[in-house]
Amino acid sequence: MEAMIQRLKQQFYDVMYKYEKPFAETGVLANLNQWATAKRPMLELLRHHPNWQEEDLAVVMEIKNVRPIDRDAVDEGVFALRELGEEMQLPAEQRKNLYGALCAAITGYELLMPDNDNYLDTIRSLTGISCVAGQKTSRVINRICCQFGLDQYTVERPDAPGQMVHPYNVIFARLSDALNPPADTKKLVLSIHPCDFLEMSGKDSTWKSCHRLNGGSYQAGCQSYMGDGVSMVLFVVEPDQTGPYGKVPHLNRQIFCYGDGLLLQSRLYPERNDDVNTLYRHTVQAILATCLQRPNQWKVKRDIRKENEFWHTVSQSCHYPDYDHGYAILSLLKGQDSYTPLKIGSVSLCTICGQPKSESSLLQCTQCEPVAICAACGKTLPMRDLEHYEGKFYCKDCLYWCSVCRKYHLGIPRKVFGRRGQEKSVCPDCYRNVADTCRGCLIHEQCLDFGGNRFCPTAYEGLAA
């Protein structure tokens, strides 16, 4: 574990550099040790999955990312099937049962049958067919229609007298296309990596949330999720992206919390989509069932609020509790008599001193002077004495200011002389320009002695090498 903490420490530093945040080794190690202690059971659990990647501390797998279902087209399809039943002159009771079963099947407008026993029981009682959660909705609809004989009904083609066709085939094909929109392959990442919590709403993505480190009002909430024992962060990224996954653009982000057979799915970012929510929930359910070596059977509760006592937010946590505002969907692993409420969040620790703090919009406490670590020499210095250069902080001993191009540079400068004989620092590129000008001069050796570059018309920027 110590080797892991040291590796993660440098990655934590890199996030602080990227977002120009104050930090010190003491604070970073305090955050990482809190993460390691709290997340140890979750780490041991997820390591049982065949798609676990130790370097990324995440389960990584490809998924077929669904597009939104066209609800109007679905409604039109069900209405057309009801009209077809009337055209067939089905008995009134059968027409009623047909329409009732079809409405139950599409209630959630989802690719797969929802985890709702009321809808499933309605279909079973009205049709006599068997159906379970997770079956493709279009297949269940097809079985319903076949049960009532809609697939056997034929009519004569208007443009070809004597030729019989099945109108059901055309209607069902349109309805099936609406319920099964084209999918494209994406990469799903279920992570407990501490830096993935820090960058769960990273600036590399095209959307923002209040947990973003670049200006979010709940920046410390990233630490709260990072330091508890139940939270995981789910990312969906393009299939060619590789870790670290906090640093790549996120198409979607979602917090999942798990403990003792109870799974909470929080708000989906950047926007709510029931079909996508269902896909991600089923995927996480399957991941956990595989890790637990339990049947992948869950009972789902929707629109659950805090007063139901399935979870509570840990006191003094700094994250925004989306799940308390109508976004939570609970999955209860079947086969258990009781479930221990989830303890979501943790006290955020200052990234400088490592002590608990309460400021939700800051990573450090208000008592600490903002400091950071020079990426070159490792000194911890006040941020006012550091420069942010090429994505990291450097002290003024490790950086130098080029007198010609007027930019900071890392490394050892080249020395030249100004018009009044004072020594100046220049970068290698600028030095070559100065040296090239002076190299062919007849009085080069004497120039520096009497300051000839003061009146030399060809001296580069009034400098002599």
Q: Write the pLDDT tens digit of every residue in 285-301.
A: 999 999 999 999 999 98
Is the distance from CB of 105 to CB of 141 less than 8 angstroms? Answer: yes
What is the torsion angle, in degrees rounded to the nearest 10, for the CA atoms of residue 390, residue 392, residue 393 and residue 394?
-60
Q: How far apart are CA 98 and CA 113, in angstroms?
A: 17
Q: Quick one: pLDDT at residue 305?
A: 65
Residue 324's Cβ-count burial label (10 Å; 0-12, 13-18, 19+) is middle
- Going by pLDDT thresholds of 50, 70 and 90, the confidence category of residue 2 is confident
- Residue 278 neighbours by CB under 8 Å, 6+ apart: 108, 110, 111, 112, 114
Q: Which two tokens stand for residue 252?
A: 């979607």
Q: Quick one: pLDDT at residue 422?
A: 84
Q: Which two tokens stand for residue 28?
A: 């970073």
Q: How far apart are CA 463 and CA 163, in angstroms?
A: 96
Q: Whole-structure pTM over 0.85, yes or no?
A: no
Output the CA–CA distances (angstroms, integers) from residue 86 to 99, 150, 348, in the order listed.
Answer: 11, 10, 63
Residue 177 has pLDDT above 80, yes or no: yes
Per-residue model confidence as pLDDT tens digits over 7-45? 999 999 999 999 999 999 999 999 999 999 999 999 999
**Percent of the chain with pLDDT strictly greater than 90:** 71
Helix (H) or strand (E) holding 388: strand 386-389
* CA-only gyration radius of the chain, Å: 32
Higher pLDDT, 452 or 233: 233
**Percent of the chain with pLDDT strictly greater than 70:** 99
Strand partners, 298: 333
